[in-house]
Structure formats: structure tokens, C-alpha cells
Structure 1
Amino acid sequence: MSRVSPGTAAWVLGISTALFGTLSSAASTVATSTQIMSLCQPAATSPSAKQLLAAAKRHLGDGNHALPHLHTEGTLPNQGIREQSIEAEKDWPVLRQAALAWRLSADPHYLQQVDEGLTAWTSTYQPDFNPIDETNLDQLIDAYTLTASELRPETREASRAFLRKLGNGYLEQIRQFHGSKSSKNINNWQSHRVKLVTLAAAALADRAMLEQAFQLFEQQVADNLLPDGSVFDFRERDALHYVVYDLEPLVQAALAAKPYGIGDNWLGYTAPGGASLGRSLDWLVPYASGQRSHEEFVHTSVKFDRDRAHVGESGYSGSWEPKSSNKLYWLAAQLDARYLSLARQLAPYPQDWIGACYLK
């Protein structure tokens, strides 16, 4: 039973007829005639559709918890605003889930939930351009991309302004590096910057920004991924956790950019030194398949890793858990079917949003 307040009934009634008539083009066209392209094409025949719709219904009455600032990077439990930030960020997967539920069901209550959530966050949150704090904004970007054509005009324009601020802000930050190869300019931080710029550009259908994103991707492949397939972070942190954390955002960037045909095959792009995203995914395969094991963070050079292990945070000591790479390989399988059998080994079914987006 819907938990949307009676005061919103007029809003719902006013858009419902249009929604049912334009659902098929909801992710591809906005009022400004800008074509937004996405590999994510939700279908009611998806094996994840029923599960996702049930979950979305449970969260239909959830409120918004937008904050002007978030900070989790480099913090241990109960430090600073870590807990408040984690709690507020729970809005984002709910909004993506609602966007997918709308695409699957055409129920206008879900569209309203997304519209209100985007309004709350884009009018409140001030980007700090810390890519670890902000990497999960991909969920909010997905929610916009899936609903852009049918949002209220003011919500759509506010969202586009927010995405442009986000993308341009990261581009400006990267320009300020001036070629510096210091750790945070080439490690997983940069992989997450590349993801955020690419997803913002794809959601805006901004081909010029996408071209810049691909240049950043090329540079990150050259700087971070090594010719043998390992990554810079593995040498620095001695942890497969950080291999996944490096590769996952790059795969997400490749998925977002693919429909636009910019840079052709990002997965197969090979840097002059021989590194490629595909080669790094292949390097991790023996660990993900269980053929090899790895004790995590034993020789890390980063004190924060030892601090997290000391307070008992899961995953920062002991053997690496292969199943923690299931999202990475389910996403990679959408770009290269060679990874599908491994993805299924790691998890018979992907996270419901991945299944709803990509599996028919």
C-alpha cells in the first residue's frame, strides 16, 4: 500500500497519464531534446525485476536526509560526521531503486520519490570534490539518468546544474595536479574521479566532457594499471580489496561511456606501456576464482589500513574474500561476456539494480 501523503495526490494524478504514454523513451530523451544514452535498459522480464519492485515498495515512504556536507574518507567508526554521512547516503540507493521501479512499473509514486529526492540533494549538498566521500553519488546520477525526461522541469534543471558543477569541479581539480604523480593523483582516488566525471558527462549527454573523461581514463590506465595486470594500489596497500576498489569505478566509467561511442572499447584500450583494464581484470581472475589466495594488508605502507584492522573493521586483515568482487565481474560481464561465468560463480545473481538494468 502506498505511503505517499494525500497532499501529493494532485501531483501524481497530473503526471500519471503522460507517464504511461512516454515510458519507453524515459531514459533517452529530455525536454531539451538532449539524448541521454545508457546501457541500463530496465525490463519487466528481468529476473531481478520482482525482487527490485518489492524492495522499492518497502522504501516508497522513506524521507530524504540530505546534508550539505559528507565525510567518511580516512575516518574510523564514531569519528567526525562519519555515521551521519553513512546514514544520509542511504538515500541514494533508494532513489536509484525507485527510478528503476518507475521504469519497470510506470507507477508515478516512484517518479515522485525520485523527483523529491533529487530536489532535496541538489539544493542542499555542496560537493567537496573528495572522490572517496563522493564516489557513491553514482547512485544519485543513475536515478537522474533513468528519470530525466519526466522530472519536473525545475528538478531536471537543478539536477543538470549540479551534475555540471560536479563534473567541471573534478576536471578543474585534476588540471591543478599539473602532471603530479603523487599517490592520491594516480591511485584509487583518481579512478573514482574518472568515474564521477564520466557518469556526470554521460548523464548530461555532454560529448565534450566525455572526451575529456576518456583522456583521463587513458591516463589512469597508464599511471595506475601495470603491464603485468596488477595495479599501483596493490603495491602500496598489499590488498586485493584495493584492486577491486581501483577497477570497479573504471568499469563503471566504461559502461556509462559505451553508448556514446567515445574512445570505442574502454575495456580493451591499451596504454603505450601495455597496461589495460581488461588485463587487470584478468590478473585478478585467479584470486576471484579461488585458484589463489591472498592475506590482506600484510605489507601495507598506509597506517590507516593498520588502524582499521586494529579496531576490527571487516576486510582489513585475514584472507581476501573472492565474493567481494562479484559486483566488479557482473559489471565487467556487460562489457565482455568472458567474465560472465566467473560472475555467476561469485554470485548466482547480481545485485538487483544490476540485474534490472542489464539482464533480460
Structure 2
Amino acid sequence: MLTTLPHLPARWLLMLLLGLGWSPASPARDMGNWCSPQPGLAAAISLQQRAIRQLDIPPSPLAHIHTEGSLPHQGIFDQSVKAKRDWVHMRDFALAWQASADPRLLAALARSLDAWTASYQISFNPIDETDLDALIDSYAITAGSLPASTRQQTAAFLRTMASGYIQRIRQAKTPLSGTFINNWNSHRLKLITLSAVALQDEAMLKTAGELYLQHIANNISAQGETWDFQERDALHYVTYDLEPLVRAAIAARQAGEQWLERKGRQGGSLQQALDWLRPYAEGTLQHQEFVNSRVRFDYVRREAGLPGFSGSWQPATSHYLYALAARLSPAYRTPTLTGAAIPDWIAQCWP
């Protein structure tokens, strides 16, 4: 106890405490509000209406989710797609509650969070779990108002998930290859970064930033071309690779960090990748999809007739990506890039 050492000089006392492993506390960084909605937006009205319609739909948690590497009607693909709708409902509840303070919406969200975080077994497959960003959104928006038990259980779930993804990246064989340099790792980084900011965890965010730079170095060339384009010969996978990185950058911005222009050791950045894709997204360049893909499953999906796996790439499929990117830079805030209608949850969260 400090009270038993009243006559020690201050510098001696400091040295003793440092020797015992104590470190001076530094003020926690304010990571800001997750969303900054403006009242009266049309997006808020549509979200409110949709969330109210969903109040009577009970959560249907699964212990396992699996869609990666599967086709519709195979395995638990269809059940997984249906169950994931709960995660989107959670975000709807959170945003509608934020705009209205309707206690029914917060109660519905708490029920869903309790059900899923108690039942779901984290697989650490980032393709299966990437849509958990909606669950993270819902927690981050409402954490201060959730019941204490819900808040604690959800926080523990997010910490376990993010820490597990960090561990898997760090334990991967070096030099990194395969799913640790392609879109899979983009989705890992999204879940890690969103969790770090939602949990207000400074150390985890620092780690996320280091892993983000490592991934940019491996994934994006100095010209802005992504590894996924080289591997898949498809703009479909460029957008799929960049979407989670943009979401991670938006979350990092909540903590005052600017990741859009950060460059990896190859000289590439997220901004350069978005600019590389831009002429295709604006329709001035065209691309035939998956012609020279090195991944067999791309041909399986093409033969199964899944849309988007053959023929010309459709620029409209990048509207979601650029609607998110416009939250990082006004350079992407054009109707040609974002489409005529911004998804209401994006419009409400980041007007």
C-alpha cells in the first residue's frame, strides 16, 4: 500500500512502482460515436418502418454458419443465408432505436444479441462470418444503453472473435500466401478493426492498424491492382476484396485515424485500389469476368449458372463499395459511382 511508504521521495516511489510492473495511466482515446445520424432523414424513416415490421420475428440463431465454397441448396447454405438475416435485423433495430428511442427496438436487439452470442460457435472462417459486421454495428451503436448482461456477453463474444482472428494471422506461415494475402484477409481485418473500435480497445486497434498495413503491402500493388484480380481475373473479387477494407477504414476514422491513403511497402494504398477500379465502375473500361481465373470453384459457379461469374462485369455491382468509400472521401460521392439510391443504413449512419 502506498500509505505505508509516506517518507519515500517521489522519484524513488516512482522507480519502485515501475519495478513492480506499474505504468502511468494515459487518457483513453475517445473513439467517437459509431454513427452520426441527422434527424428527419428519409433513411431514418425507412429504417424505422422496416425495424417495426421485424419486431415480431424471433431470432433464429445457429451454432454454425457455412456458405463459403458452397452453392445454393448444398449443405447448410440455405439455412445459413436465412439465419444471417438476423444480423441485419440487429443493425436495423439499433439504427431505428438511435433515431427514435423506442424501447421495443432496444429490447428486440438485446434478445437477438443474447440468443446469438450464447449459441453461435465462432468458426474463424472470415467468408462465412464477414456479415457479422452488422452485429458489431448494432452493439457499437447501443452498447451504453444495453442491459449490462447483454453488453458484457456481446463484448466477450467480440473480443474472442477478434483475438482469434489476430492469432490466426500471426501464426500463419511466412511469407504469407493464399488466404492470408487475398480477400479472406480483408474480411478478417474488417472484423478485427470493427471489434477494436466497438470495444474501445486501444491495443487491439493498434494491432489492427499494423495488420492492415501488412495486408495492403501484400494485396495492393503500387498501381492499385489487387492480388485478387491477378488470381481471379475478375472485378467481382476486386470489389469483394475492397469492401471490407473500406469498412475497416471507416471504423478506424472513428478513432481519428486515416487509413485511406496509408501505403504498404509496395507503394499501394486503398485509395489507389479504388482509383484503379474507378474507370471500370464508371463504364469507361470493360472487363470479361473470370476468363483466366486460377481458382477452380469460379468455373464450378459459372457452370452452375450463378450470375456474375461469366460475361462482362456490371458496374452497378460496385455501387455498394463506392457508397461506403464516399464516407471516406468526397471524390467518390458521385451518382455514377454510388448509384441513385444509397442504402438507408449507410445514409443514416454516415450522412
Fold equivalence (TM over 0.5): yes
The CA deviation at 1:39 is 4.7
Listed as ranges, the matches of 1:26-105 within 5 Å are 37-105=32-100
Output one character per residue of 1:237-262: Cα deviation in whole Å (capped at 9) or x when no partner: 0100100011110010010111212x
The CA deviation at 1:34 is 9.7
Contact 1:69/1:125, CA 8 A, preserved across alignment:
yes
Alignment length (residue pairs)? 324
Per the alignment, in what secondary structure is the counterpart of residue 139 of structure 1?
A: helix
Q: Which residue of 2 aligns with 1:185?
A: 180
The CA deviation at 1:194 is 0.5
State the distance in 2 between where 1:151 and 1:265 align.
30
Q: Which residue of 2 aligns with 1:314?
A: 307
RMSD: 1.4
Runs of at least 5 residues in structure 2 that lack an aligned partner in the other structure:
1-27
Q: Which residue of 1 aligns with 2:350?
A: 358
Q: 2:324 aligns with which of 303, 320, 331?
A: 331
Per the alignment, in what secondary structure is the counterpart of residue 320 of structure 1?
A: coil
State the distance in 2 between where 1:159 and 1:176 align.
26
Q: Which residue of 2 aligns with 1:347?
A: 339
The CA deviation at 1:48 is 1.2
Output one character per residue of 1:154-184: Cα deviation in whole Å (capped at 9) or x when no partner: 0000000000000100011111114232211
Listed as ranges, the matches of 1:97-136 within 5 Å are 97-136=92-131
Structure 1's 234 and 38: CA in aligned 2 closer, same or farther, altered over 3 A? farther
Structure 1's 180 and 79: CA in aligned 2 closer, same or farther, altered over 3 A? farther
Q: Taking every aligned residue pair, what percent have the same amino acid on both sides?
A: 47
Give the letter for the 2:307 counterpart: S
Output one character per residue of 1:194-248: Cα deviation in whole Å (capped at 9) or x when no partner: 1010011111000100000000100111000111111000011010010001111
State the distance in 2 between where 1:326 and 1:193 align.
22
Q: 1:294 aligns with which of 249, 266, 287?
A: 287
If the length of structure 2 is used for normalisation, what is the TM-score? 0.90
Q: Which residue of 2 aligns with 1:227?
A: 222
State the distance in 1 between where 2:291 and 2:323 align.
28
Q: Does the alignment pair 1:140 with 2:135?
A: yes
State the distance in 1 between where 2:197 and 2:141 align.
12
Q: Which moved more, 1:76-85 or 1:140-149?
A: 76-85
Q: 1:272 aligns with which of 265, 278, 286?
A: 265
Q: Which moved more, 1:40-49 or 1:198-207?
A: 40-49
Give the letter for the 2:115 counterpart: A
Listed as ranges, the matches of 1:158-173 within 5 Å are 158-173=153-168
Per the alignment, in what secondary structure is the counterpart of residue 136 of structure 1?
A: helix
Contact 1:221/1:275, CA 8 A, preserved across alignment:
yes
Q: Which residue of 2 aligns with 1:23?
A: none
Q: Which residue of 1 aligns with 2:20?
A: none
Runs of at least 5 residues in structure 1 that lack an aligned partner in the other structure:
1-32
The CA deviation at 1:322 is 0.7
